[in-house]
Amino acid sequence: MDRREIAALLAFIGRLDPRTSRADQGEARDQIAQWHELLGDVPTATPHGWDVYAAARQHIRLSPYPIRPSDIARPWESYRRDRLSRHTDPTPFADPDDQAAWMAELAVARREVAAGTAQPAPAPAISSGRDGIDPALEARLKAIGSCIPPAARAALAPFRRSRAAREEALAQGQPHALSVRCEWCLAQPGEPCRRRRIGPDGGPRGTVPRSTPHPGRVELANGQHDVRPRHTTPA
Ligand SMILES: [Zn+2]
Protein backbone atom coordinates (compact mmCIF):
# COMPACT_ATOMS: atom_id res chain seq x y z
CA MET A 1 0.00 0.00 0.00
CA ASP A 2 1.31 3.46 -0.82
CA ARG A 3 0.61 6.56 1.28
CA ARG A 4 -2.62 7.30 -0.55
CA GLU A 5 -3.93 3.79 0.07
CA ILE A 6 -2.87 3.97 3.73
CA ALA A 7 -4.73 7.27 4.09
CA ALA A 8 -7.85 5.72 2.53
CA LEU A 9 -7.58 2.73 4.89
CA LEU A 10 -7.21 5.02 7.93
CA ALA A 11 -10.24 7.01 6.81
CA PHE A 12 -12.22 3.76 6.55
CA ILE A 13 -11.03 2.67 10.02
CA GLY A 14 -11.85 6.12 11.44
CA ARG A 15 -15.43 5.75 10.28
CA LEU A 16 -15.81 2.37 12.00
CA ASP A 17 -13.85 3.24 15.15
CA PRO A 18 -13.63 7.01 15.80
CA ARG A 19 -10.99 6.46 18.50
CA THR A 20 -8.33 5.98 15.81
CA SER A 21 -9.04 9.13 13.79
CA ARG A 22 -6.75 12.11 14.26
CA ALA A 23 -8.37 15.53 14.04
CA ASP A 24 -5.05 17.39 13.94
CA GLN A 25 -3.46 17.65 10.45
CA GLY A 26 0.09 17.02 11.74
CA GLU A 27 -0.97 14.05 13.85
CA ALA A 28 -2.86 12.55 10.93
CA ARG A 29 0.24 12.91 8.72
CA ASP A 30 2.41 11.23 11.36
CA GLN A 31 -0.09 8.41 11.65
CA ILE A 32 -0.06 7.86 7.88
CA ALA A 33 3.78 7.90 7.89
CA GLN A 34 3.87 5.38 10.75
CA TRP A 35 1.38 3.00 9.11
CA HIS A 36 3.09 3.36 5.75
CA GLU A 37 6.46 2.50 7.30
CA LEU A 38 5.02 -0.66 8.84
CA LEU A 39 2.55 -1.74 6.18
CA GLY A 40 4.17 -0.51 2.96
CA ASP A 41 4.68 -4.10 1.75
CA VAL A 42 1.10 -5.22 2.49
CA PRO A 43 -1.16 -5.01 -0.57
CA THR A 44 -4.69 -3.60 -0.36
CA ALA A 45 -6.12 -6.74 -1.96
CA THR A 46 -4.98 -9.75 -3.95
CA PRO A 47 -6.93 -11.73 -6.58
CA HIS A 48 -6.89 -14.68 -4.16
CA GLY A 49 -8.60 -13.84 -0.93
CA TRP A 50 -6.68 -11.05 0.80
CA ASP A 51 -8.48 -7.79 1.51
CA VAL A 52 -6.98 -5.28 3.95
CA TYR A 53 -10.40 -3.67 4.50
CA ALA A 54 -11.85 -7.03 5.51
CA ALA A 55 -8.94 -7.57 7.94
CA ALA A 56 -9.46 -4.11 9.51
CA ARG A 57 -13.20 -4.59 9.72
CA GLN A 58 -12.74 -8.01 11.32
CA HIS A 59 -10.44 -6.58 14.01
CA ILE A 60 -12.79 -3.74 14.87
CA ARG A 61 -15.69 -6.18 14.96
CA LEU A 62 -13.99 -8.62 17.35
CA SER A 63 -11.56 -6.63 19.45
CA PRO A 64 -12.29 -4.00 22.11
CA TYR A 65 -8.86 -2.44 21.52
CA PRO A 66 -8.12 0.29 18.96
CA ILE A 67 -6.61 -1.14 15.78
CA ARG A 68 -2.83 -1.01 15.39
CA PRO A 69 -0.63 -1.76 12.36
CA SER A 70 0.17 -5.19 13.83
CA ASP A 71 -3.52 -6.07 13.61
CA ILE A 72 -3.16 -5.81 9.82
CA ALA A 73 0.38 -7.24 9.53
CA ARG A 74 -0.39 -10.39 11.56
CA PRO A 75 -3.29 -11.60 9.38
CA TRP A 76 -1.23 -10.72 6.29
CA GLU A 77 1.71 -12.83 7.50
CA SER A 78 -0.55 -15.77 8.31
CA TYR A 79 -2.17 -15.41 4.88
CA ARG A 80 1.30 -15.66 3.29
CA ARG A 81 2.34 -18.56 5.51
CA ASP A 82 -0.83 -20.47 4.74
CA ARG A 83 -0.35 -20.07 1.01
CA LEU A 84 3.32 -21.04 1.07
CA SER A 85 2.53 -24.12 3.16
CA ARG A 86 0.11 -25.25 0.46
CA HIS A 87 2.62 -24.58 -2.33
CA THR A 88 4.75 -27.36 -3.82
CA ASP A 89 7.44 -26.04 -6.14
CA PRO A 90 6.50 -27.07 -9.66
CA THR A 91 9.37 -28.17 -11.92
CA PRO A 92 10.78 -25.01 -13.51
CA PHE A 93 10.92 -24.62 -17.29
CA ALA A 94 14.54 -23.46 -17.06
CA ASP A 95 17.44 -25.69 -18.09
CA PRO A 96 18.31 -27.78 -14.98
CA ASP A 97 22.03 -27.27 -15.70
CA ASP A 98 21.56 -23.51 -15.38
CA GLN A 99 21.28 -23.43 -11.61
CA ALA A 100 20.88 -19.67 -11.32
CA ALA A 101 17.94 -19.59 -13.73
CA TRP A 102 16.41 -22.68 -12.08
CA MET A 103 16.58 -21.17 -8.57
CA ALA A 104 15.37 -17.79 -9.83
CA GLU A 105 12.29 -19.38 -11.39
CA LEU A 106 11.48 -21.25 -8.15
CA ALA A 107 11.95 -18.05 -6.12
CA VAL A 108 9.73 -15.99 -8.45
CA ALA A 109 6.98 -18.64 -8.24
CA ARG A 110 7.18 -18.66 -4.42
CA ARG A 111 7.10 -14.87 -4.21
CA GLU A 112 4.03 -14.74 -6.44
CA VAL A 113 2.25 -17.35 -4.34
CA ALA A 114 3.16 -15.58 -1.08
CA ALA A 115 2.08 -12.21 -2.47
CA GLY A 116 -1.25 -13.68 -3.45
CA THR A 117 -0.92 -13.01 -7.19
CA ALA A 118 -0.64 -16.73 -8.07
CA GLN A 119 -2.40 -19.78 -6.67
CA PRO A 120 -0.29 -22.35 -4.76
CA ALA A 121 0.66 -25.40 -6.84
CA PRO A 122 -0.54 -28.42 -4.86
CA ALA A 123 1.44 -31.66 -4.69
CA PRO A 124 0.45 -33.93 -7.55
CA ALA A 125 -1.93 -36.58 -6.25
CA ILE A 126 -3.78 -39.55 -7.66
CA SER A 127 -7.10 -37.95 -8.55
CA SER A 128 -8.97 -41.11 -9.50
CA GLY A 129 -8.47 -44.83 -9.31
CA ARG A 130 -10.23 -47.40 -11.46
CA ASP A 131 -13.36 -45.19 -11.51
CA GLY A 132 -11.68 -43.11 -14.16
CA ILE A 133 -11.05 -46.03 -16.51
CA ASP A 134 -12.32 -45.73 -20.09
CA PRO A 135 -15.50 -47.91 -20.44
CA ALA A 136 -14.30 -49.29 -23.80
CA LEU A 137 -11.01 -50.28 -22.21
CA GLU A 138 -12.83 -51.81 -19.23
CA ALA A 139 -14.91 -54.05 -21.60
CA ARG A 140 -11.81 -55.10 -23.50
CA LEU A 141 -9.99 -55.90 -20.28
CA LYS A 142 -12.91 -58.03 -19.13
CA ALA A 143 -12.99 -59.95 -22.44
CA ILE A 144 -9.27 -60.64 -22.40
CA GLY A 145 -9.07 -61.10 -18.62
CA SER A 146 -5.59 -59.66 -18.42
CA CYS A 147 -3.54 -56.60 -19.23
CA ILE A 148 -1.31 -58.85 -21.37
CA PRO A 149 -2.85 -59.50 -24.83
CA PRO A 150 -3.27 -63.22 -25.79
CA ALA A 151 -0.62 -63.02 -28.54
CA ALA A 152 1.96 -61.60 -26.16
CA ARG A 153 0.97 -64.18 -23.55
CA ALA A 154 1.56 -67.02 -26.06
CA ALA A 155 4.91 -65.54 -27.04
CA LEU A 156 5.94 -65.36 -23.37
CA ALA A 157 4.85 -68.93 -22.55
CA PRO A 158 8.22 -70.61 -23.27
CA PHE A 159 9.89 -68.23 -20.81
CA ARG A 160 7.46 -68.82 -17.94
CA ARG A 161 6.59 -72.46 -18.20
CA SER A 162 5.03 -72.97 -14.81
CA ARG A 163 2.70 -70.00 -15.21
CA ALA A 164 1.74 -71.08 -18.74
CA ALA A 165 0.96 -74.57 -17.47
CA ARG A 166 -1.20 -73.15 -14.70
CA GLU A 167 -3.10 -70.87 -17.06
CA GLU A 168 -3.71 -73.76 -19.44
CA ALA A 169 -4.98 -75.95 -16.61
CA LEU A 170 -7.28 -73.18 -15.41
CA ALA A 171 -8.59 -72.61 -18.94
CA GLN A 172 -9.47 -76.31 -19.17
CA GLY A 173 -11.12 -76.30 -15.78
CA GLN A 174 -8.51 -78.60 -14.29
CA PRO A 175 -6.85 -78.13 -10.94
CA HIS A 176 -3.33 -76.92 -10.93
CA ALA A 177 -0.79 -77.25 -8.17
CA LEU A 178 0.01 -73.52 -8.26
CA SER A 179 -3.50 -72.61 -7.12
CA VAL A 180 -2.64 -73.79 -3.58
CA ARG A 181 0.21 -73.07 -1.21
CA CYS A 182 3.05 -75.58 -1.20
CA GLU A 183 3.43 -77.16 2.24
CA TRP A 184 6.92 -78.38 1.33
CA CYS A 185 8.73 -75.25 0.15
CA LEU A 186 6.10 -72.77 1.41
CA ALA A 187 5.61 -71.21 -2.06
CA GLN A 188 2.53 -68.96 -2.06
CA PRO A 189 -0.43 -69.60 -4.43
CA GLY A 190 0.54 -68.48 -7.93
CA GLU A 191 4.26 -68.74 -7.16
CA PRO A 192 6.25 -71.70 -8.54
CA CYS A 193 7.86 -74.16 -6.17
CA ARG A 194 11.50 -73.44 -5.42
CA ARG A 195 14.45 -75.71 -4.79
CA ARG A 196 17.56 -74.92 -2.86
CA ARG A 197 20.83 -74.40 -4.61
CA ILE A 198 23.79 -75.93 -2.90
CA GLY A 199 27.16 -74.20 -3.16
CA PRO A 200 30.56 -75.92 -3.58
CA ASP A 201 31.02 -75.89 0.21
CA GLY A 202 27.74 -77.79 0.71
CA GLY A 203 25.91 -74.75 2.16
CA PRO A 204 22.66 -73.33 0.69
CA ARG A 205 23.13 -70.62 -1.93
CA GLY A 206 19.62 -69.29 -2.34
CA THR A 207 16.74 -70.86 -4.25
CA VAL A 208 15.72 -71.27 -7.89
CA PRO A 209 12.21 -71.88 -9.25
CA ARG A 210 11.37 -75.49 -10.15
CA SER A 211 9.72 -76.12 -13.52
CA THR A 212 7.45 -78.72 -11.84
CA PRO A 213 5.67 -78.30 -8.51
CA HIS A 214 6.47 -80.50 -5.51
CA PRO A 215 4.42 -83.76 -5.57
CA GLY A 216 2.70 -82.89 -2.29
CA ARG A 217 1.43 -79.68 -3.76
CA VAL A 218 -0.06 -81.49 -6.78
CA GLU A 219 -1.84 -83.91 -4.45
CA LEU A 220 -3.12 -81.05 -2.31
CA ALA A 221 -4.49 -79.22 -5.36
CA ASN A 222 -6.16 -82.38 -6.68
CA GLY A 223 -7.67 -83.07 -3.26
CA GLN A 224 -9.10 -79.55 -3.00
CA HIS A 225 -10.46 -79.80 -6.50
CA ASP A 226 -12.27 -83.06 -5.66
CA VAL A 227 -13.73 -81.53 -2.53
CA ARG A 228 -15.03 -78.37 -4.15
CA PRO A 229 -17.88 -79.81 -6.29
CA ARG A 230 -19.23 -81.69 -3.26
CA HIS A 231 -19.61 -78.38 -1.42
CA THR A 232 -21.32 -76.66 -4.32
CA THR A 233 -23.85 -79.40 -5.17
CA PRO A 234 -26.95 -79.18 -3.00
CA ALA A 235 -27.43 -82.22 -0.73
ZN1 LIG B 1 6.97 -76.67 -3.29
Is residue 35 classed exposed, middle or buried when 0-12, 13-18 and 19+ CB atoms within 10 A define those classes?
buried
39-61 per-position pLDDT tens digit:
999 999 988 889 999 999 999 99
Q: Please provide the DSSP assignment of 126-148 as one string.
A: ---SGGGS-HHHHHHHHHH-SSS
More confident residue, 126 or 222: 222
Which pLDDT score is estimated for 128? 57
Q: How far apart are CA 165 and CA 171, in angstroms?
A: 10
The beta-strand segments (E) located in the chain are 194-198, 204-209
CB within 8 A of 85, min separation 6: which ones? none
Instruction: Specify which of 116-130, 144-158, 176-190 reaches the highest per-range mean pLDDT.
Output: 176-190
Kindly report which listed range (64-78, 100-114, 125-139, 183-197) carries the lowest average pLDDT score: 125-139
CA of 220 to the centre of ligand 1 (A): 11
* Higher pLDDT, residue 227 or 92: 92
Is 222's pLDDT higher than 50? yes
Percent of the chain with pLDDT over 90: 35
Q: State yes or no: pLDDT of 162 exceeds 80.
A: no
Lowest mean pLDDT among 108-117, 126-135, 144-153: 126-135
Query: What residues have a C-beta under 5 A from ligand 1, the ion?
Result: 182, 184-185, 187, 193, 214
How far, in Å, from the CA of 177 to the mean position of ligand 1? 9
Task: Kindly give the distance from the C-alpha atom of residue 218 to the centroid of ligand 1, in angstroms, as a whole number.
Answer: 9
